[in-house]
Amino acid sequence: MHLFVAICSVWASYRWGDWRNWQKYLPTMMYFAIGNLLYNYLCAERMLWTLTPDWLADTRVTELIYTFLTFPATALLFLTNFPQGRMKVFFHYVQWVLIYGGVEYIYTLTGRIEYQYGWSLGWSIIFNIIMFPMLKLFSVRPLLACGFSVLLTIFWMKMFHVSF
């Protein structure tokens, strides 16, 4: 299932992403990937969620697939198709939160994700509600987004008792 999501993400980014201007989106794609790597590093001793690998890969390979394929591909799609106008922007955020939440919901039903230490699908949805505006913020004001990211990381670590 994880490999299927990665293939769909890469295909969709190829189909609807702005690959002619990929350099414009690369910093945000890397910000997303680095954020996932940071989660795996900081929470290595207290993982709030873990992805149950498919038949093809182990947990580390599954995380690498998300880090270097799925997340950059979806960041490209998210930014490439970013609309103008308040209501369109609002619905763009809602669409992406629903996509990520829906995929994760399917993972909970199929046993492809396991939550620990109080994390849940609800917390993931709250995280996504914050994450997508942070991706957009990073694309236009990277230093401000990095500052907020540090504060948000400290918040999440304290909230879920992750030691540094």
Per-residue pLDDT of the chain (164 residues; tens, 9 = 90+): 999 999 999 999 999 999 999 999 999 999 999 999 999 999 999 999 999 998 777 889 999 999 999 999 999 999 999 999 999 999 999 999 999 999 999 999 999 999 999 999 999 999 999 999 999 999 999 999 999 999 999 999 999 999 98
- 19 lies in a domain? no
What is the CA angle 143-145-150, rounded to 5? 100
User: Is 129 within a domain?
Assistant: yes
| Claim: this prediction has a pTM higher than 0.85 | yes
Output the CA angle 2-16-56, nearest 5 degrees: 15
109 by Cβ neighbours in 10 Å (0-12 / 13-18 / 19+) ranks as exposed
Q: What domain range is 80 assigned to?
A: 2-12+49-133
In a domain, 128, yes or no: yes
Structural domains of the chain, count: 1
Using alpha carbons only, give the angle 101, 102, 104 rounded to the nearest 5 degrees.
65
Q: How far apart are CA 103 and CA 130, in angstroms?
A: 17
Q: Residue 24: inside a domain, yes or no?
A: no
